[in-house]
Amino acid sequence: MNATQHSVVVTGIGATTPLGGDSASTWEGLVAGRSGVRPLDEEWAAELPVRIAARAAADPAGILPRPQARRLDRSAQFALLAAREAWADAGYTARAGEDSTVDPDRLGAVVASGIGGVTTLLEQHDVLREKGVRRVSPHTVPMLMPNGPSANVGLEVNARAGVHTPVSACASGSEAVGYAIEMIRTGRADVVIAGGTEAAIHPLPIAAFANMMAMSKNNEDPQGASRPFDVDRNGFVLGEGAGVIVLESAEHARERGARVYAEAVGQGISADSHDIVQPEPSGNGIAHALQNLVANTGLDPAEVMHINAHATSTPQGDLAELKALRKVFGDDVDHMALSATKSMTGHLLGGAGGVETVATLLALHHRVAPPTINIETLDPEADVDVVRDTARPLPAEGRIAALNNSFGFGGHNVVLAFRTP
């Protein structure tokens, strides 16, 4: 056991989302309050109860060379593009080893998805039934395995310290970032590339989520369908894409003179053990994660000026999160500008934690909280400072911290904290 606890910082950011093909265009969309939700005009959508989704703004298969794209599930394509952006943004000029400032044996990759290569699985099942056994692609297994995106990102940057894939449904992306923080903090790695990705816009997942009554069926108003904290919210809107960041030990970043976006303060994790899909309504499970965060990291709630809420736009889940925040932070919640960016990006499931980590980091970096759009009537039980309609400046001076909350089916709760350098 390495007794030294290393400080962790974020040096690179990358994303491909419904709002833009990279992190800059995504941030621009978030600050402008733009919705990425569109009608699904594919033929297969016609018979579905839900005919809206937040498709990625840039089709990854059109960006990657065709031979590479055809052997990567769409979730891995997103992860790879976001990872490349983050890696270059961190100032690395080649894969580890070729770029001598990073040792492959000290580099890890932790990229998660909630569902893995579900579209590959379903498409190959169609091939099996329609064209026969011989036509099933030999790339199917590496494309559908949930660790595929992480493994492909690891191959891209030459990560040899460990490649991991925590799976916790819609908390997966944040759990991946938390895992990466631990790898560096405990001395297993100097640098870790981490995040979340998802590509599940396909009739079967949509039918399944819709039949759970988890999705908004507001097909007539796609851009107004994702409305966290509004009294008329009626479920989430499915999104797709990836968010990936580069984390490294503060010493490693300092030695190579890297630009630091933020300190990765740490994470708090808990499990509800209440229901397989329903959130624990009093918020106790989430509160436990927040308490762990404060206890493990020494984070001072007085510093926390912004929260990227999980807030998927479901009636119960949105409020459980707010109850937990009030329970743990008390009056301090009143100075935390709370944003629900899923109102614009839709819900990227396992990609959400990755993309919302990127949004949280950019909010700290620019000292701006993005808006929550589509709140016409704020739920009277939402007794927190929700940033509505337009972006809002965060305190211009002094160190400030921000949280990214992610919760998943199965009762998984992950909260991440970041702080300006």
Partner 1 sequence: MAVTQEEIVAGLGEIVNEIAGIPAEDVELDKSFTDDLDVDSLSMVEVVVAAEERFGVKIPDDDVKNLKTVRDAADYILKHQS
Under the binding rule (CB under 8 A), the answer on residue 155 touching partner 1 is no
Cβ atoms of 90 and 246 within 8 Å: the answer is yes
* CB of 338 vs partner 1, minimal distance in Å: 47
User: 82: closest CA among 152, 128, 147, 13?
Assistant: 13
* CB of 137 vs partner 1, minimal distance in Å: 7
* CB of 381 vs partner 1, minimal distance in Å: 54
Strands in 54-185 per DSSP E? 107-112, 162-164
Give one DSSP letter per residue of 15-68, joined into a string: EEBTTBSSHHHHHHHHHHT----EE--SGGGGGSS--EEB--SS-GGGTS-HHH
Under the binding rule (CB under 8 A), the answer on residue 128 touching partner 1 is no
* CB of 329 vs partner 1, minimal distance in Å: 51
* CB of 61 vs partner 1, minimal distance in Å: 13
Residues 336-355 that bind partner 1 (CB under 8 A): none
- Applying CB under 8 A, among 66, 126, 257, 298 the residue interacting with partner 1 is 66
- Contact window for partner 1 (CB under 8 A) among 26-34, 131-139, 223-231, 372-380: 131-139
* CB of 132 vs partner 1, minimal distance in Å: 10
How many CA atoms does the CB half-sphere of 96 hold within 13 Å?
Answer: 23
The one catalytic residue in 170, 262, 359, 415 is 170
Tally Cβ neighbours within 10 Å of residue 130. 8
Does residue 135 have an active-site annotation? no
Under the binding rule (CB under 8 A), the answer on residue 129 touching partner 1 is no
Count interface residues toward partner 1 (CB under 8 A): 11
Nearer Cβ to partner 1 (143/194)? 143
- Applying CB under 8 A, among 62, 130, 134, 398 the residue interacting with partner 1 is 134
Under the binding rule (CB under 8 A), the answer on residue 135 touching partner 1 is yes
Distance between the two ends of the chain, CA-based, in angstroms? 28
- Applying CB under 8 A, among 1, 3, 67, 276 the residue interacting with partner 1 is 67
Tally Cβ neighbours within 10 Å of residue 230. 24
Nearer Cβ to partner 1 (140/174)? 140
Handedness of CA 196, 201, 202, 205 (dihedral sign): positive
* CB of 151 vs partner 1, minimal distance in Å: 14
Nearer Cβ to partner 1 (67/398)? 67
User: 23: closest CA among 79, 85, 70, 66?
Assistant: 85
- Contact window for partner 1 (CB under 8 A) among 65-73, 75-83, 296-304, 400-408: 65-73
Using DSSP, state whether 254 is helix, strand or coil: helix
Nearer Cβ to partner 1 (128/271)? 128
Distances (CA, A) of 311 to 114, 220, 352: 17, 22, 11
- Beta-strand relationship, 337-339 and 304-308: parallel
Under the binding rule (CB under 8 A), the answer on residue 65 touching partner 1 is yes
Nearer Cβ to partner 1 (137/316)? 137
Nearer Cβ to partner 1 (46/141)? 141
What whole-number distance in Å separates Cα of residue 343 and Cα of residue 201? 18
Under the binding rule (CB under 8 A), the answer on residue 138 touching partner 1 is yes
Q: What is the 3-state secondary structure (H, E, C) of 264-329?
A: EEEEEEEECCCCCCCCCCCCHHHHHHHHHHHHHHCCCHHHEEEEECCCCCCHHHHHHHHHHHHHHH
Distances (CA, A) of 391 to 143, 338, 367, 372: 39, 11, 10, 8
Using DSSP, state whether 198 is helix, strand or coil: strand
* CB of 134 vs partner 1, minimal distance in Å: 6
Residues 167-226 that bind partner 1 (CB under 8 A): none
Nearer Cβ to partner 1 (5/137)? 137
Strands in 332-399 per DSSP E? 337-339, 368-369, 392-393
Residues 70-89 that bind partner 1 (CB under 8 A): 70-71
| Residues at the site binding partner 1, with contacts judged by CB under 8 A | 65-67, 70-71, 134-135, 137-139, 142
List active site positions. 170
